[in-house]
Structure formats: structure tokens, C-alpha cells
Amino acid sequence: MIPVQGYEGRAVAVLGLGRSGLATCRALAAGGAVPLAWDDSPESRARAEAEGIALHDLARADWSQIAALVTSPGIPHLYPAPNRHLAAALAAGVPVDNDIGLFFRSFATAQTIEMDQPPKVVAVTGSNGKSTTTALIHHILTAMGRPSQMAGNIGTGVLSIDPPQEGEVIVLELSSYQTELARALTPDIAVFTNLSPDHLDRHGGMGGYFAAKRRLFAEGGPDRAIIGVDEIEGLFMAGQLAEAAEDGRVIRISSGQKLAGPGWNIFARKGFLAEYRAGRQVASIDLRAMPGLPGAHNHQNACAAYAVARSLGAAPRLVEDAMASFTGLPHRSQLVAEAGGVRYINDSKATNADSAGKALQAFDHIRWLAGGLGKDGGIASLAPYLDRVAKAYLFGHSARDFALQLGEHPHEIFDTLEQATASAIAEARSGDTVLLAPAAASFDQFPDFEARGEAFIAAVQAGHATHE
């Protein structure tokens, strides 16, 4: 646990009692604060009480006696409208923060500052690939024998990690919800993977979404910024952060284009990762045979993780060896079975069209499972990749909308993912890939993308596919 500093003897309201909210209550108490915990959900309040956390109805709060409000990432604080408790805190002039802000505020202690090798924090954000990038960085460090913990939007809540030891690297995945509200953001190394439309209702449009991501770099001034430049936003931000073209504090990364110039550039083309410094190549890695990193989108993730490892002083060959043993994350281009020459790929994390497009580009002869709660634009942007799709199997709330956007391309509509999977299995032939890349949120039929992915795996098993 990371005890929260700066609120000793003072009351701090905690709104939202999920994983991060409960951890925040414990960390505040450990630091000597008095947490006032609340959640509008009776079920969440019951879970908190079962853990011995005292509840305090914020509708009756005396905000003049409260030092700060800490809110969970899922609770709206600005758009489309702030939560009523949060609005009351703002009206009273009470500072609003989240667990990420508390973590950065409390990470450095007298003990860590006195270490010969103080621990470092790497923070990863972006629209797609941040979970895989975070996990790959953690894997590389662990494989090389360097102590590391992984937390944030993946795995453990940031305040629940163990106090860092000398030389340790904490690797955080941070969503736009987390970076937008945190009052402190001071990573040693910050990574921006890419940007595509997502969560626009929460950020008031694309500009607000980009601004939320950009705060990770603008607020704390990381020692090293690793920026994906395949979209104009990343290219713009890299230009803003660098003092000159040769400024090595900014590492530009790309998947698909060769990066030139006198700076520090890392890019992947045709399955090969290349590192250039001062206009000269210093390393190259063949990514094509790495089973945990299929497709161009994962090659971008590899570039980002490689850049972090190099920034921390790792030798290229050690990084390559570590990457080769990475098996990938569940629900992200995950090979779940292979039978009769047919591969079954679970990419349930592809919750928008952009991430689904990256999955479609990674495979051929695809029987594509798509559907759920579609987002703005649906799947219209995926038309260029339909030559890879033998047939689409559409399910859930947006199935008919997706069907209209597919036009004459072969497709069929089903009520459920299970029905769609059974049909794809029955029609698949040797050389095909049955791919779940929904291009939609899961909340019409599942609590989250993980549950949707598990349902797909169960349906594949029920269809008598044999695991390798």
C-alpha cells in the first residue's frame, strides 16, 4: 500500500467504492486522513461496509469541513454533466482529485529519495494498445531481472501496490478519465501510443479527449516522452515537447512509416523494428515470429515498450530476448484455439472501430464476429479492410446498424454472440481465422469486455475446437 501524504487529521471525501475507491479509503487512513466514503449504489456500499469502511452520505456533507474529494474514474466530473456530489464539492471550492493524483503526490518519500537508485514511474496512455504496451514493458523488465510492478487501469490499483524498492520501476496504464482529473502527474517516462475517437461524450469532443491525454506530458514534464506520431495529434505533441529536432528527451515511434531526422526514432516496417539515433541505425529486431505481438498494431506497442526499456538503459538484444517470450494479454489478439486449420482469435478488447480495424489488418480469410453497443460512426471506417473478411457474423444491439454499413458484403445477423460463434465455427474452413473484434462496447449483453471474451472462448469450446 502507498499511504497518502498531505491530509493527516483531515477529512477527505471518497466518491465511488469500486476497486480504486476502496483502495483509496485504505490508503488515506494509512496516511492519517479520515476518509468519508460514499457510493450511490447500495451494492457497493454493502461491499465497503463488509470491509469495515465507514460510510458517510455525501448528500448531507458539510463541505466546509472537507479537505478534498477523491472520485473514481467512472464518475462524470464535467461532461455530459457532473455527478451531483462532485458538483456540490466544486461549488464549495473543494479540490477534486483521483487516486492517480494521490499516488503521484505520495510516491516519493524520505526513504525513496535517499536510495542510490530511486524507483521510477513509467506511465502509458493512448486510445489503443496501452494495456499491451504496459504489460510488455513490465514483462521486459521482469525478464531482465529488474524489479517492477504493474498497476493503474490494468491489474492492481495504484495505491494498492507495495512500497517500491531500490531500482524498481512502476509501470502504470492510465486512461483519459484518470489523466484528465489527476492533480499531480509526474512520471519519469510517459508514453503516448496513439489517438482515435473514443469516450467523446465524457470529454466534450475530440479536442477535450486529446487534451486529457496531453496532460500527462504537459503537467509534470517527464524526463523522457515517447510519442506515437502516426496521427496528427501525436506529431503535434512531439513537436511541442522537443526543444529541437535532435532533442533526445522525445522519442518518436511509428508503425508503418520510416522516421527520419536527427532525433531518437524507433519504428516498425514490414515486421522489423528499427532504432535510429542522430540519423544512424543502432539496432534492429525481427518481430514477425513473436507470437505475442501479431500485426502492425502490436508492432507499434513493441516500439513503445522497446523505447522505454532503452530509456532505462537496457541493451537491444536483452530487450529482443524478453519480447520473444511475451505471450500477450487475454482478450487482445489472443489465440484461444486452433483446430482443423482454423484459428480462433479473441480480441474482445477491440471496443471501437479503430482497434477492430487493427485486428482485421493482422489476419486474412477472416470470419468476423462484430457487435454490441456501437459507437459514433459504427463500422463505416472499416470498409478498406473488408477484402480480408469472408463473412461477418453480427450480434447484439448494433447488429442491424452494422449490417446496413456492410451493404452487399456477406453477413448474417444473430441475437447473441454464442449464436454467431456457432455459425462461424460451422462455416469455417482450413486457413480461416474466426475473429472476435466487436468494434463496439459490451454493455448491451455483458458487464465488460472480459466477460464477452470469456463467452466467446466458452462458445469455441462448445463448438468442439481443440486447444493447442
Helices (H), ranges, 260-311: 295-311
Residue 106 annotated as binding site: no
**Taking Cα atoms as reference points, which of 343, 362, 358 lies closest to residue 460?**
343
Backbone angles phi, psi at 358, to 5 degrees: -65, -40
**80 exposure class (CB count in 10 Å sphere: 0-12, 13-18, 19+):** exposed
CA distance 39 to 26: 16
Query: Which distant-in-sequence residues (6+ apart) come within 8 Å of 322 by Cβ?
Result: 139, 140, 143, 144, 309
Catalytic residue numbers? 130, 153, 199
If you ran DSSP here, which 8-state letter would residue 330 be given? T
- Contacts of 212-216 with C-beta under 8 Å, sequence gap 24+, read 212/176, 212/177, 212/179, 212/180, 213/125, 213/126, 213/176, 213/179, 215/179, 215/180, 215/182, 215/185, 216/123, 216/125, 216/174, 216/179, 216/185, 216/187, 216/190, 216/192
What are the start-end ranges of the E strands in 270-388?
Answer: 272-277, 280-286, 334-339, 342-346, 366-371, 373-374
Q: Answer yes or no: are the C-beta atoms of 198 and 231 closer than 8 Å.
A: no
CA distance 235 to 2: 35
CA distance 182 to 217: 13
CA distance 112 to 285: 35
Residue 327 annotated as binding site: no
Cα–Cα distances in angstroms (integers) from residue 447 to residues 4, 119, 341, 373, in the given order: 31, 36, 32, 12
Residue 348 annotated as binding site: no
Read off the C-alpha cell for 310: 532503452
Read off the C-alpha cell for 6: 498531505
Given strand 342-346, what is the order of strands in its sheet?
Answer: 334-339, 342-346, 433-436, 366-371, 389-395, 411-414
CA distance 442 to 271: 32
Residue 128 annotated as binding site: yes
CA distance 316 to 284: 8
Measure the N-to-C terminal CA separation of the chain; round to a whole number of Å. 39
Residues placed in the known binding site for ATP:
126-132
Annotated binding site: 126-132
